[in-house]
Chain A
Amino acid sequence: DIVMTQSPDSLAVSLGERATINCKSSQSVLYSSKNKNYLAWYQQKPGQPPKLLIYWASTRDSGVPDRFSGSGSGTDFTLTISSLQAEDVAVYYCLQYYSTPPWTFGQGTKVEIK
């Protein structure tokens, strides 16, 4: 199975500052023939289901604020919140959907306000 490892496990960032979350996969999730990285990012707030933010590693889902961006390729990926807002307090997960199956999630990164 592909293991997804996120870092850090938690971070506290001041309002308006940048938050950066990393996700590393144990093997490449780049499907070379399609030139697509099978990697998504989700945001989960307490008592709610996960919400899709980013897919194909860098494409923002419809309605997601542009302060959220995804980057990376192969085995190393990053989710960046360029200017943290109070409503961004949540747990963030990466998901690889390259393997068939199983799909695997990172362990989550909790983002709080400093």
Chain B
Amino acid sequence: EVQLVESGGGLVQPGGSLRLSCAASGFTFSDYWMHWVRQGPGNGLMWVSRINSDGTTTNYADSVKGRFTISRDNAKNTLYLQMNSLRVEDSAVYYCARRDVIVGALDYWGQGTLVTVSS
């Protein structure tokens, strides 16, 4: 069974940092591109970042470029999102999701981890 479990969320002050993790199981993690998507309180979904299967290619939404870094450790089956210079507007539930090449889109999602940026 495919499982994605996020962790690392919490309360942080503006300007602070957090590192989110996403532990994957039930599939060959190193074969898949992985994504982060966030959802602000009462808001819709926003794509944040993606990384290719071997970690050599990354992309970011303009609103997080230069502040967030996506990475992965295929030996540990874990995806990361390092978030620096956090802003109030970064407050959201952060989901990791798997992209399947046959489906094209994101087929499995974790339950999410809540990040709150507030003083």
Q: Which residues of A come within 8 Å of B, CB atoms?
A: 36, 38, 40, 42, 44, 48-52, 55-56, 61, 93, 95, 97, 100-108
Q: A100-B59, A101-B59, A101-B61 are in contact. Are A52 and B45 (CB under 8 A)?
A: no
The proximity string for B residues 91-119 relative to A, scoring 1 for CB distances below 8 Å and 0 otherwise, is 00001010000011111011110000000
Does B104 contact A36, Cβ atoms closer than 8 Å?
A: yes
Which of B62, B103, B105 counts the most A-chain CB atoms under 10 A from its CB?
B105
Minimum distance in angstroms from B43 CB to a CB of chain A:
9
Expressed in whole angstroms, the Cα–Cα distance for A105 and B107 within the complex equals 15
Partner of A105, one of B46, B50, B59: B46
B27 within 8 A of A: no
Expressed in whole angstroms, the Cα–Cα distance for A97 and B45 within the complex equals 14
Minimum distance in angstroms from A73 CB to a CB of chain B:
15
B44 within 8 A of A: yes
Q: Which residues of B come within 8 Å of A, CB atoms?
A: 35, 44-47, 50, 59-62, 95, 97, 103-107, 109-112
Which residues of chain A have C-beta atoms less than 8 A from B35's C-beta? Answer: 103
Expressed in whole angstroms, the Cα–Cα distance for A101 and B47 within the complex equals 9
Which residues of chain A have C-beta atoms less than 8 A from B109's C-beta? Answer: 49-51
Q: A101-B61, A102-B61 are in contact. Are A95 and B44 (CB under 8 A)?
A: no
Which residues of chain B have C-beta atoms less than 8 A from A61's C-beta? Answer: 103, 107
Main secondary structure of the interface of A (DSSP, over half): loop
Which residues of chain A have C-beta atoms less than 8 A from B110's C-beta? Answer: 49
Does A95 contact B61, Cβ atoms closer than 8 Å?
A: no
Minimum distance in angstroms from A97 CB to a CB of chain B:
5
Which residues of chain B have C-beta atoms less than 8 A from A38's C-beta? Answer: 104-105
Expressed in whole angstroms, the Cα–Cα distance for A108 and B95 within the complex equals 17
Does B60 contact A101, Cβ atoms closer than 8 Å?
A: yes
Which residues of chain A have C-beta atoms less than 8 A from B103's C-beta? Answer: 40, 52, 55-56, 61
Does B105 contact A105, Cβ atoms closer than 8 Å?
A: no
Minimum distance in angstroms from A100 CB to a CB of chain B:
7
